Chain A
């Protein structure tokens, strides 16, 4: 900790400082190298396929994948856009169910130490189970053709990181902060609102980012085991078995774009919600 007088950090909270334009251009500069590398990778990929004359069976060129994507966007046999929407609904629905349940259980666990002692080891054990292996069972329980069976898989996968992280955030408060609150004779409810919940927010957002990825994985893998036709998981399985790998790749690309978008949306909310946290001020 520097003892020098003066402002040690960057004046990120300075209201008169760099505006949105400055921040945007800094963001562009920040992401530029990654975008360039990704673009370079795609060009290299395209070139390698063309030069080596690889069979699209092994790896289609990016141009072929884009063509398949455009061609089947509103396709009859492979309606990619409709499928992406249905899968996203399953993933987001499951994410919301799992996250809500995770937060509720975390609050209960943080409130009652006995419950925490009971739940956390169980949660750790349950989290070690490859839950995805239950997908066929979920289809039986919630209905093969009912999107709820995919949603529940996404929900269960989202539940554990949210519950474990939020519990940790609510319970793992700096003991000195609790001593301070005790010296103010602050009631437990006040400690919860003013210390535990804000303390848990960074943990919560870390968990949400994990859950966003996991919910999409849960939904798509659950779809592999059957269900309604127009979903990305079915598109991937059916196009692959029909040896239409360019469509498989197109569907996988859509899933990737959906996952990245989901993650970025949460990261953006995080930046607005907890600007004071180190993860939100890693500029420059």
Chain B
């Protein structure tokens, strides 16, 4: 499924800096001199320590945060135009479901906004929920589902309008290890079936290695890309892939790249972008 090395990038990031103005006049450089190309159909993970700006980079790609300098091109368009063209499907760490909508109606929400007709919305929602194996739960309300199931609804919703790029911000960070591994397989299966390009933020090395075509290693203060590790594990991947020597070698490689960048891998920080938005909205 991974795009060939010579195809034109779907995401082209060049010279991106992001500086946040702090409360007391201080400035935080969240991203510094980011250059990255992502090819169509690739599965790219962004990994790094707390405060390395990986969530900010994801939001810059998705036009949820404006870069201070540099440019982001998506399919030859600006990131803003790509957002307006509904090229992005977003999945956050929290499922961000709407309590007042049933599972099915949550999946239909982007389709309503895109002005799709009713029959198509119903058909799509059904297909997507079957894709994430929640076909039996269409009429349930979000509070009736477990955390893992809610996150699957969020994925179904993000895929419902066939976005070209799926942006996932630590989507399984709140799940336990067992559920997380199951969800990883599910994401790989969906990625294989849809051919979407995925940009995936995580702080879990095994997750990044298991899922990705490439792992982008970042370091903190300022957030920079220190290394890009190609993951050449054969596909399709399964539990057996997790037991191959190559898997462990790659994990070691990513870990050493992270150490060289001088960061602890643990990451519990809230993305500052979300905070900024929160302040703007609540006032």
Chain A contact residues, CB within 8 Å of chain B: 1-13, 15, 113, 116-117, 171-186, 190, 194-195, 198, 201, 274, 276-278, 281
Q: Does B78 touch A at the CB level, under 8 Å?
A: no
Contacts of B148 in A (CB 8 A): 3, 5
In the complex, what distance in Å separates the CA atom of A100 from the CA atom of B86?
A: 37
Contacts of B113 in A (CB 8 A): 181, 184-186, 190, 194
| Least Cβ–Cβ distance between B281 and chain A, in angstroms | 6
In the complex, what distance in Å separates the CA atom of A211 from the CA atom of B247?
A: 63
Q: How large is the interface on B (under 10, 10 to 19, 20 to 34, 35 or more residues)?
A: 35 or more
**Do residues A9 and B90 form an inter-chain contact, with CB atoms below 8 A?**
no
Name the contact of A4 in the complex, choosing from B62, B146, B277 (C-beta under 8 A).
B146
B134-158 interface mask toward A, CB cutoff 8 Å, 1 = contact, 0 = none?
0000011101111111100000000
**Do residues B146 and A175 form an inter-chain contact, with CB atoms below 8 A?**
no
Q: Does B99 touch A at the CB level, under 8 Å?
A: yes
Name the contact of B140 in the complex, choosing from A1, A7, A177, A277 (C-beta under 8 A).
A7
| Least Cβ–Cβ distance between A165 and chain B, in angstroms | 14
Name the contact of A176 in the complex, choosing from B88, B109, B274 (C-beta under 8 A).
B274
Name the contact of A116 in the complex, choosing from B86, B101, B283 (C-beta under 8 A).
B283
**Do residues B62 and A183 form an inter-chain contact, with CB atoms below 8 A?**
yes
Query: Which of A4, A10, A190 is the most central at the interface, judged by chain B CB atoms within 10 Å of its CB?
Result: A4
Given the contacts A2-B147, A183-B83, A117 and B283 also touching, CB distance less than 8 Å:
yes
Binds A, one of B3-11, B27-35, B173-181, B250-258: B173-181
**Do residues A3 and B92 form an inter-chain contact, with CB atoms below 8 A?**
no
Q: Does B102 touch A at the CB level, under 8 Å?
A: yes
**Do residues B109 and A113 form an inter-chain contact, with CB atoms below 8 A?**
no
Q: Does B110 touch A at the CB level, under 8 Å?
A: yes
**Do residues A8 and B110 form an inter-chain contact, with CB atoms below 8 A?**
no
Contacts of A278 in B (CB 8 A): 143
**Do residues B62 and A1 form an inter-chain contact, with CB atoms below 8 A?**
no
Name the contact of B94 in the complex, choosing from A9, A176, A183, A198 (C-beta under 8 A).
A176
**Do residues A198 and B84 form an inter-chain contact, with CB atoms below 8 A?**
no
Given the contacts A1-B174, A175-B277, A178-B277, A198 and B146 also touching, CB distance less than 8 Å:
no
| Least Cβ–Cβ distance between B119 and chain A, in angstroms | 20
Contacts of A183 in B (CB 8 A): 62, 64, 83, 88-90, 167
**Do residues B146 and A8 form an inter-chain contact, with CB atoms below 8 A?**
yes
Q: Does B98 touch A at the CB level, under 8 Å?
A: yes
Q: Does B114 touch A at the CB level, under 8 Å?
A: yes
Contacts of B62 in A (CB 8 A): 183
Name the contact of A3 in the complex, choosing from B102, B139, B175, B283 (C-beta under 8 A).
B175
In the complex, what distance in Å separates the CA atom of A245 from the CA atom of B151?
A: 63
**Do residues A1 and B147 form an inter-chain contact, with CB atoms below 8 A?**
yes
Query: Nearest B residue to A167 by beta-carbon distance?
Result: B283
Contacts of B147 in A (CB 8 A): 1-3
Q: Does B130 touch A at the CB level, under 8 Å?
A: no
Given the contacts A13-B139, A179-B90, A186-B113, A274 and B100 also touching, CB distance less than 8 Å:
yes
Contacts of A276 in B (CB 8 A): 99-101, 141, 143
In the complex, what distance in Å separates the CA atom of A171 from the CA atom of B109?
A: 20
| Beta-carbon contacts under 8 Å, B47-100 to A | 59, 62, 64, 83-84, 86, 88-90, 92, 94, 96, 98-100
Given the contacts A179-B277, A180-B92, A184-B114, A11 and B144 also touching, CB distance less than 8 Å:
yes
Chain B contact residues, CB within 8 Å of chain A: 59, 62, 64, 83-84, 86, 88-90, 92, 94, 96, 98-102, 109-110, 112-114, 139-141, 143-150, 167, 174-176, 178-179, 274-275, 277-278, 281-283
Contacts of B178 in A (CB 8 A): 3
Contacts of B88 in A (CB 8 A): 183
Q: With A9-B144, A116-B283 given, name 10 new contacts (CB 8 A).
A: A1-B146, A3-B147, A13-B144, A171-B282, A174-B96, A175-B281, A179-B64, A184-B86, A184-B110, A274-B100
Contacts of A186 in B (CB 8 A): 113
| Least Cβ–Cβ distance between A101 and chain B, in angstroms | 22
Query: Nearest B residue to A113 by beta-carbon distance?
Result: B283
Name the contact of B96 in the complex, choosing from A8, A177, A184, A185 (C-beta under 8 A).
A177
Query: Nearest A residue to B84 by beta-carbon distance?
Result: A185
| Least Cβ–Cβ distance between A164 and chain B, in angstroms | 14
In the complex, what distance in Å separates the CA atom of A15 from the CA atom of B140?
A: 10
Contacts of A10 in B (CB 8 A): 144
**Do residues B144 and A8 form an inter-chain contact, with CB atoms below 8 A?**
yes
Name the contact of A171 in the complex, choosing from B90, B98, B283 (C-beta under 8 A).
B283
Name the contact of A277 in the complex, choosing from B99, B167, B277 (C-beta under 8 A).
B99
| Least Cβ–Cβ distance between B180 and chain A, in angstroms | 9
Contacts of A179 in B (CB 8 A): 59, 64, 90, 92, 274, 277
In the complex, what distance in Å separates the CA atom of A173 from the CA atom of B90?
A: 18
In the complex, what distance in Å separates the CA atom of A28 from the CA atom of B179?
A: 41
